[in-house]
A and B are shown apart, each in its own frame.
Chain A
């Protein structure tokens, strides 16, 4: 066996390639689940025709099947459609953009320790000889930078959005790409600060140690509930999900940065979006929901699986099932949000990001570091501190100065028109605009 091929490398590469397939399959069926959920919420039936009969008479029993063959049919169709680039696009960048989008989405989840740490016995493998056993982590990549890798790789997909919008040479694409870039980089900051607030308690970058801390001290969602909420909001904004999907606001921007894309290039954008959702939810589960631990304050699985090869692989599979179950629940929650909440306006998204979420997460980091300094880094003091901060925020909201821009226009006859006799509060400050609008002061009749 060659020197450079350690057990960790061997296992990592295999885990990664298994997980890529698992995640791509999950993505395909997530799209199906999303369509089904949407149709039930909107009182429709949704996809229910495509089974696995492929139109063949002797496979008739496989027809229908609740439309479970739909993802396969969609994938085939993406592959068979024309890969078209309009005349004015920048051909090179136009082809590059979906690749730049999909590569980070595929390699980002590599550090997630799906199966925890196992002690692998010595193995005799065909072709490569005896592999020396030892403790290894069931993850695609086990590096000392840990979560930093995930943050930095996931951020790279911003380039895909920017390039896609720019290369299309279409005004809608360009605006969509610009908006999306600005939104993604804005919500990167609260994302980073919330990870910081969690890491301040853990004191390590390594995913295994983050889970280990949560095994000993309870899940971080109890110690840092505010950070968890802000992290989830930022995740929604990062993966361009409703209520933050201004990049492809259909009423304003047609399809956003992928307006001009077709066939597999469009499918890669689509895949990347869903793969990002799964990566993000796995990150959330890792940081705040205890990773592969089943219960919040009780440890069910052994921290390090030891024993025969079957036993350790069994425990790793169980841990993976728990971890992936949490990820699927979170993704379903995202889907539920998508079909329940209307889209925010773009200026509302950005103002929420810069004027609310970022200051709150900054205060949270200061608060957490002070608590750690005072030796109050446990679950109960941190929960109380978070609760106090939440109360202070809610109490401060009415006191803060309010912006007058983009508020309701008190146009006479509109549904925003104030009640007769009440004083009109909002109005343009520009004197010229004031002349245009007679409705200022008190509403008479």
Chain B
């Protein structure tokens, strides 16, 4: 049963040297960022002062630090994001192999059903979060 998917998946030729331009590209991009910041540090003026060093909080003198506790809702969003994002990443390989399957293949229905079950587990998580009020912002 695994046969059609494994043969399709083995078709693209994985050659690491096709990533060679990526190394050059990353070096170029990092070089651009570093060069700009270093240049402006060299060229621009530099003066310091007690009031100048204050954080800008709408002209008020800052009270305390900004490293405080914040709304737990952001953690919830991050956790639900993880659930969905991992699911989507698992769906990508399937999305590229599934349309290439022979439509007359009797196993195609099983592959579809398995993915639907996989999606169903996420939908259960979504409904649970919805009922818990994770997606309500007030």
Contact = CB atoms under 8 A, between A and B. Distances in A.
The DSSP consensus for interface residues of chain A is helix
Nearest to A143: B18
B98 A267 contact: no
Nearest to A108: B29
Contact of B18 (A8, A169, A370): A8
Contacts of A192: 85, 88
Interface string B76-112: 0110110011001001100111111001000011001
A125 interface: no
B66 interface: yes
B135 to A, nearest CB: 4
Nearest to B123: A362
Interface string A172-203: 11110010011001101100110010011111
6 contacts: A20-B29, A81-B44, A170-B62, A200-B99, A203-B98, A369-B112
Interface residues of B, number: 71
Nearest to A5: B20
A263 interface: yes
B92 A148 contact: yes
- Which 9 pairs across A and B sit closest by C-beta, in order of nearness? A87-B53, A347-B137, A203-B99, A264-B40, A12-B21, A354-B135, A405-B138, A106-B29, A99-B33
A186 B77 contact: yes
The DSSP consensus for interface residues of chain B is helix
Contacts of A171: 55, 57, 62, 66
Interface residues of A, number: 86
Interface string B18-41: 111110111011101110110111
Given A99-B30, A141-B18, 20 more contacts: A6-B17, A9-B21, A79-B39, A86-B55, A98-B33, A141-B21, A142-B18, A144-B13, A171-B55, A172-B56, A188-B81, A196-B88, A196-B91, A199-B96, A200-B99, A203-B98, A263-B44, A347-B138, A355-B135, A372-B98
B61 interface: no
Interface in A209-234: none
Contacts of B95: 196, 199-200, 203, 369
A89 B51 CA distance: 14
B1 interface: no
A78 B40 contact: yes
Interface string A3-25: 01010110011001100100000
A375 B103 contact: yes
Task: Pick the most buried of B21, B26, B45, B130: most chain A CB atoms within 10 A of its CB.
Answer: B21
Contact of B29 (A102, A148, A263, A267): A102
B56 A170 contact: yes
A350 interface: yes
Contacts of A79: 36, 39-40, 43-44
Interface of A: 4, 6, 8-9, 12-13, 16-17, 20, 78-84, 86-88, 95, 98-99, 102-103, 106-107, 110, 140-144, 148, 168-175, 178, 181-182, 185-186, 188-189, 192-193, 196, 199-205, 254, 259-260, 263-265, 267-268, 346-347, 350-351, 354-355, 358-359, 362, 365-366, 369-370, 372-373, 375, 377, 403, 405-406
A377 B36 CA distance: 49
B136 A351 contact: yes
A107 B96 CA distance: 24
Contacts of B91: 196, 365
Given A99-B34, A178-B70, A182-B74, A88 B55 contact: yes
Nearest to A370: B112
